[in-house]
Amino acid sequence: MMGQPILVLKQGTQREQGEPALILNIDAGSAIADAVRTTLGPKGMDKMLVDGMGDTIITNDGVTILKELDVEHPAAKMVIEAAKTQDDECGDGTTSTVILTGELLQEAKPLIKENIHPTVIVEGYQLALKKALEVLRGCAPSIAHGMQNEGVRDTLLSVAMTSMTGKSTEENKHDLAELVVDVILAIAKGPSGQEDMVDLEDVAVVKLKGKAVGATNRINGLVIKKDKASKGMRADLSDGLVNIGLLSGSLRVKDHSVNIQQVEELEKLMDRDDQELLKLIDGVTEAGINVLFVQKDISDEAAGMLEENGIIGFRRVTEEEMDMLSRATGATITSKAKDLKGKTGRCLYSEKKHEGALHVYLTAGDEQGTFPIQTILVRGATDHVVDEIERSIHDALSTVGVAYEEGLVNIGGGSSFMEIVLALEKYANEIEGRRSFAVKGFAKAMEAIPRTLAENAGLDKIDTILNLRKAHTEGHKYHGVNVVTGTVEDMRALEVVEPHKLVEMALVGAVETCTMILRIDDVIASKGMDLGQPGQPPQGPQQGPPPGMG
Ligand code: ADP
Ligand code: MG
């Protein structure tokens, strides 16, 4: 080269390289953990998030908080992505994922300052992760599949309750946990022991403001909010069971664009339209349909004719609703009215008004048993309450589903993490070279979960950790933090149970994110992008509670 600098970057581009870049990223990533730390565990506090429009969310849910934060720093964004992935996969464990990521990053900092190369730290972390997962698996009692198994039901109830502890569902968690488990067992498919699959798309959640949370209930069937195509429509519901038809096309005669010169021509055309419409309606009546759901439109004339024939019709039903209707009632979706015959489904039909809006109930008749679609009607006094209850129920559904599918659970309250800490401390001594420092750092990071649980419960974190260590050294591998009494005890007795996959994914997600961040030694940001200063908290919407309340 000629010794002349080659400019490849635009003027105004920001660039951070080497150790300063790394430290900046570490601090930005950890700042995200600081934003949610106080919400961890049953004694965690809620946060009030206010967006630019003044809309408020009150939540304890890590990922909900993080989604609302307006974060600029790319490393911080990576941590938020990790939380979102955790939420998508397991529906819970987001705060833990973020806290673990933050701790792993912070533990790497002194090592970097000691000139241990980031790739060595990453290697050490990978070794530690492998070991940690083994330990986690080793202290995961398995639950057998099968709906008849009472033991499974009890374990799933504990999983549901653990997931709902400390949230706005707390007061009603016993009833809600029963409800969630019933729903999951109802939609779980496959022969017991094999391929038990839980698809949360089989659960409809309808939010209804106006009653106490305790009035939240499960419907063995599908409830959808929908207006009839014509207000006067009534069906003969004498024996309760009705035939359901599902039409993906329209129930109307196609519009013509013809040039009409004479009155006779117009009359002929109208006659033809009437005939065509009659044929469509015949298709519906011949199929013996009492209630018809149409994805596209029902013309007013067609609606009138349905009404005359004692048929209830609904128009503009969404594709998702059509799918659910089909799975719930066994009806096949058909594109043409004349093909409806033989494709109908059967169920009980009823209507109810909630908050002035018509809700249609399609439920199982006595002899039909459990419907493959279940609906939860979420109740609460205000929109805020209903929303937060819905989030909490959603999380519980996911966690119970995950636990049921995998058939493995871990005991919570920080117990599994303390097992991991002790095992890794031992393991670090077996490893040669600098990687052992990273394994030690990893072990220390794992302590953050029990420590934060204790801290958020207002307990002395040092005493708690010391007691916990002692218990685990003595072989009590299920001992965790009782956040109510402040003592260290067997979490099985307190029924603090989480899906194994949830904890596993949290660990894997945290290490992956941390590794990605540690491998970056050069941050190049285009003009106008603010990389921020180390330690600067993320700029987000106003956050509560005010400092000091956590
Ligand atoms: P996340 O978003 O990570 O799920 P949570 O606020 O739900 O965060 O807290 C989960 C942590 O709280 C887990 O470590 C779990 O074991 C612990 N935990 C839940 N219930 C209890 C309890 N009753 N006693 C002690 N720890 C609990
Ligand atoms: Mg949780």
Read off the pLDDT of residues 139-195 as tens digits, 9 standing for 90 and up. 987 775 544 456 788 999 999 999 988 777 778 889 999 999 999 998 887 555 455
Asked if 394 and 420 sit in the same domain, the reply is no
* 401-428 tens-digit pLDDT: 999 988 899 999 999 999 999 999 999 9
167 shares its domain with 186:
yes
**Is 539 contained in some domain?**
no
Instruction: Please indicate, yes or no, whether residues 430 and 472 belong to a single structural domain of this protein.
Output: yes
Question: Are 184 and 285 within one domain?
Answer: no
Nearest atom, ligand 1, residue 99 CA: 3
Give the CATH number, domain containing residue 167: 3.30.260.10
Question: Cα separation of 222 and 364, whole Å?
Answer: 9
Whether 51 is a known active-site residue: answer: no
pLDDT class of 9 with cuts at 50, 70, 90:
low
> What is the DSSP secondary structure assignment for residue 430, as one 8-state letter?
H
Q: Are residues 248 and 351 in the same domain?
A: yes
Whether 248 and 365 map to the same domain: the answer is yes
- Does residue 266 carry a pLDDT above 50? yes
pLDDT per residue over 497-528, tens digit each?
999 999 999 999 999 999 999 988 777 776 66
Q: How far apart are CA 34 and CA 335, in angstroms?
A: 54
Which helix (H) or strand (E) covers residue 51, if one does? none
Instruction: Give yes or no: residues 424 and 399 share one domain.
Output: no
Do 312 and 263 have their domain in common? Answer: yes
Domain that holds residue 494: 16-42+78-140+416-525
Q: Which of 59, 85, 94, 155 is catalytic?
A: 94
The SS3 of residue 197 is strand
Q: Whose C-alpha lies nearest to ligand 1, atom 12?
A: 41
Cα of 486 from ligand 1 centre, angstroms: 15
Domain count within the chain: 3
Instruction: Provide the 3-class DSSP secondary structure of residue 76.
Output: helix
Query: How far, in Å, is the centroid of ligand 2 from the Cα of 163?
Result: 5
pLDDT per residue as tens digits for the range 100-134: 999 999 999 999 999 999 999 999 999 999 999 99
| DSSP state, residue 372 | S
Same domain, 391 and 365: no
Mean pLDDT, the chain, whole residue set: 86
**Are residues 241 and 357 located together in one domain of the fold?**
yes
pLDDT at 234 over 90: no
- DSSP state letters, 501-533: HHHHHHHHHHHHHHHHHHT--EEEE-TT-----
Cα–Cα–Cα angle for 18, 20, 24, rounded to 5 degrees: 120
Is residue 540 one of the residues assigned to a domain?
Answer: no
CA of 10 to the centre of ligand 1 (A): 48
Centroid of ligand 1 to alpha carbon of 29 (angstroms): 22
- pLDDT at 533 > cutoff 70: no
Range 373-391 average pLDDT: 91
Q: How far is CA 272 from the centre of its chain?
A: 52
Within a domain: residue 301? yes
Residue 47 belongs to some domain of the structure = no
- For residue 9, is it within any domain? no
Question: Which ligand places an atom closest to the C-alpha of 83?
Answer: 1
Examine residue 476 and state whether it is found in any structural domain, yes or no: yes
Q: Annotate 217-285 with DSSP letters as a single string.
A: EEESEEEEE---SSTT-----TTSEEEEEEESS-BSPPP------SHHHHHHHHHHHHHHHHHHHHHHH
The single residue of 59, 92, 395, 515 carrying the catalytic annotation is: 395
- Helices 448-456 and 94-113 cross at an angle (nearest 10°) of 120
Which protein residues touch ligand 1 with a CB less than 6 Å away? 39-42, 44, 62, 92-96, 162, 165-166, 412-414, 449, 453, 480-481, 483, 494, 496, 498
pLDDT at 508: 97
Is the per-residue pLDDT at 17 higher than 80? no
Please give the average per-residue pLDDT across 197-216, as a whole number. Answer: 90
Q: Are residues 330 and 362 in the same domain?
A: yes
Residue 529 has a pLDDT of 60
Q: Does 545 reside within a domain?
A: no
Q: How far apart are CA 293 and CA 304, in angstroms?
A: 15
Give yes or no for a contact between 317 and 244, defined as CB atoms under 8 angstroms apart: no
CA distances (Å), origin 62, targets 45, 79, 88, 167, 171? 11, 12, 13, 11, 20
* 160-173 per-residue burial string, b: 16 or more CB within 10 A, e: under 16: bbbbbbbbbbeebb
Q: Which ligand is nearest to the CA of 86?
A: 1
266 and 395 part of one domain = no
- pLDDT reported for residue 536: 46
Structural domain includes residue 5: no
With beta carbons less than 8 A apart as the criterion, state whether 23 and 31 touch: no
Work out the pLDDT band at 2, boundaries 50, 70, 90. Answer: low
